[in-house]
Amino acid sequence: MTESPGEPPTQSSTETAAPAVLTELRGHVLVVTLNRPDARNAVNAELTQGLGDALERADRDTDIRVVVLTGAGDKSFCAGADLKAISRGEALSPPGTEEWGFAGFVNHPISKPVIAAVNATALGGGTELVLASDLAVAAESAKFGLPEVRRGLIAAAGGLIRLPVQLPRKVAMQMIVTGEPIDADTALRWGLVNEVVPDGQVLDAALDLAQVIAANAPLAVQASKRVASGRYAGADGDLPPELPHERDAWRANDDEIIALMSTEDAIEGPTAFAEKREPVWRAK
How do the pLDDT tens digits run along the chain, 284 residues long? 655 443 344 444 444 468 999 999 999 999 999 999 999 999 999 999 999 999 999 999 999 999 999 999 999 999 999 888 877 888 889 999 999 999 999 999 999 999 999 999 999 999 999 999 999 999 999 999 999 998 888 899 999 999 999 999 999 999 999 999 999 999 999 999 999 999 999 999 999 999 999 999 888 899 888 888 765 444 334 434 445 556 666 676 677 667 776 777 777 777 887 788 887 877 66
Residues designated as active site: 128, 148
Measure the CA–CA gap between 11 and 45, rounded to whole angstroms.
14
In this structure, which amino acid lies at residue 99? E
Measure the CA–CA gap between 71 and 69, rounded to whole angstroms.
7
Measure the CA–CA gap between 24 and 68, rounded to whole angstroms.
10
In this structure, which amino acid lies at residue 69? L
- Nearest Cα neighbor of 41 from 116, 123, 97, 107 is 123
- What is the phi-psi region of residue 104: left when phi exceeds 0, alpha when psi lies from -120 to 50, beta otherwise? left
Q: Are 160 and 153 in contact (CB under 8 A)?
A: no
Residue ranges of domains in the chain, CATH in brackets: 13-198+218-229+237-274 (3.90.226.10)
Question: 172 Cβ partners below 8 Å, 6+ apart?
Answer: 163, 164, 166
pTM: 0.81
Q: Are 78 and 129 in contact (CB under 8 A)?
A: yes
Measure the CA–CA gap between 108 and 110, rounded to whole angstroms.
7
Residues in the chain: 284
Measure the CA–CA gap between 143 and 103, rounded to whole angstroms.
19
Measure the CA–CA gap between 223 and 231, rounded to whole angstroms.
9
DSSP states along 47-75:
HHHHHHHHHHHHHH-TT--EEEEEESSSS
